[in-house]
Amino acid sequence: MIGAMDTPMKIMHVVTSLDPAQGGPPAVVTRLAAAQAALGHDVSILAYADPAAAERTARSVAPIPGFERVRVHGLPPPGRLVRFTGSDVRAFLDPLIRGHRALHLHGIWDTLLIHAAKVARRAGVPYALVPHGMLDPWSLSQRAMKKKVALALGFGSLIRHAAFLHTLNTDEQHLIGPLNLNPRTAVIPNGVFLSEIEPLPPRGSFRAKHPELAADPYVLFLSRLHFKKGLDYLADAFAIASKSLPRLRLVVAGPDDGARDPFVQQIARLGLTERTHVVGPVYGGDKIAAFVDAAAFCLPSRQEGFSVAVTESLACGTPVVISDQCHFPEVQEVGAGRVVACDAKATGEALLQVLSDADLAARMGQAGARLVRERYTWPKVAELTMAMYDKFMPR
């Protein structure tokens, strides 16, 4: 909480959408804002209001501790021309932004962020910018020419004028350095609210809702079903581990983002359809129950900023096998799982090692739970953001 000598800050987070189906930023923004508000600050969020996603958004924020202290400003989605020129958008933003101590902009490739940054500069309000992994080499290689043009036409200015870039891990900090877009960076990770996890549901809760799993061990993948998440690597890795573990199953949870059908087809070619369960999105208590019942969590992603799903799995005491492109070396350092190359063979062998040794898996689970509680909770993260505001945005 704010001490007697401290002054509450007025902070606004700006993000394109709060729809949890978008993955990444929405879940992070809502929890960071709630954690900052719990410290006694005046915190709000500005996002385009998507009527079609309103129910999903309401469900996703309901369990967040302290979110009732956060105000949400919904900006009507404009037509393409207005969204590009920004005249109406900036007129809407101006009275909302003036008087703030700091803005926190999330993402890169949306003109809403450019409009907010321009209004903030005119009003003398400094802003931090969180790329959420969108500036690392893999991300920039996707639609590379379009992004190169975008950086030249306005998004480069958005980045350069930020008071600092909020990177999610040290790898990201090093990867974006050669772009020479902004030398001021601060590493601030994502976190979890322990109250959203504890007390852990009893083992068997997820299985009770999915009797097709029986008592067999399963590997859990929980994320958007998108190419970058490495589902193709996961299918081949599961095939490798399955040869030695004939009872092993694979549970794939998350909203489809274009990779579901190719994954299902690959699993069929491998002859693993009966042992693979694509269950769709899971949220809240069902998500935590899925982690608790899993023998291991696996995310062989081609690119991550800072995966909340990995952190939640660790917090639940579930060992993890992740790619080095998840940029979470602490997993390996403290013995909470395995960090391997973004490769099916390495992933499959790591899964086999973890799943074949119950004592090792138990030690990994304990190390992961301890790691999260010591370093990666939202209250700790919120305090770090306030320190970075004071460092880079002097009063």
Using DSSP, how many helices (H) and how many strands (E) does the chain show?
18, 13
**Residue at token pair 């902009």:** 105
Report the pLDDT value the prediction gives residue 86, as an integer from 0 to 100.
64
CA 57, 58, 63, 69 torsion-angle sign: positive
Name 146's Cβ contacts closer than 8 Å, sequence gap at least 6.
none
pLDDT of amino acid 249: 98
For residue 185, which phi and psi values (nearest 5 degrees)?
-135, 150
Lowest-confidence region among 3-12, 70-79, 201-210, 218-227: 3-12
State pTM to two decimals. Answer: 0.89
Residue 141 has a pLDDT of 85
pLDDT at 351: 98
Say if residue 79's pLDDT is above 70. Answer: no
Distances (CA, A) of 88 to 16, 17, 84, 92: 16, 18, 10, 6
Higher pLDDT: 346 or 8? It is 346
Rounded percentage of the chain residues whose pLDDT exceeds 90:
73
Query: What's the whole-number average pLDDT of the chain?
Result: 91
Q: Which of 7-16, 77-86, 178-187 has the lowest mean pLDDT?
A: 77-86
Out of 49-53, 58-62, 281-285, 369-373, pick the least confident.
49-53
The set of residues, in sequence order, having a beta carbon less than 8 Å from that of 238 and lying 6+ positions away, is 219, 248, 250, 267, 270, 272, 276, 348, 351
C-alpha 307/C-alpha 228 separation (Å) is 13
pLDDT at residue 67, rounded to an integer: 94
Q: Where are the alpha helices (DSSP H) in 39-110?
A: 54-61, 80-85, 87-97
How far does CA 103 lie from the centroid of its chain? Answer: 20
Going by pLDDT thresholds of 50, 70 and 90, the confidence category of residue 80 is low
| pLDDT tens for each residue of 149-169 | 878 888 888 999 999 999 998
323 in Cβ contact with 341 (< 8 Å): yes
pLDDT for the residue 208: 96
Tokens of 328: 């979470």
pLDDT given for residue 90 in this prediction: 79
Instruction: Pick the range with the lowest mean pLDDT from 67-71, 238-242, 282-286, 339-343.
Output: 282-286
> Domain extents for the chain?
10-191+377-392, 194-375
**Residue 27: strand, helix, or coil:** helix
Cα–Cα dist 108/130, whole Å: 8
Q: Is the pLDDT of residue 266 over 50?
A: yes
CB 120 within 8 A of CB 126: yes
User: With b meaning 16 or more CB within 10 Å and e meaning fewer, what string describes 206-239?
Assistant: bbeebeebeeeebbbbbbbbbebbbbbbbbbbbb
Helix (H) or strand (E) holding 12: strand 10-14
- Measured distance CA(328)–CA(311) in Å, rounded: 10
Same fold, 10-191+377-392 and 194-375: yes
Q: Which two tokens stand for residue 160?
A: 């350069």
Which pLDDT value is given to residue 3? 43
The torsion angles phi and psi of 256, rounded to 5 degrees, stand at -75, 130
Q: Which fold has domain 194-375?
A: Rossmann fold (3.40.50)
Architecture of domain 10-191+377-392 in this structure: 3-Layer(aba) Sandwich (3.40)
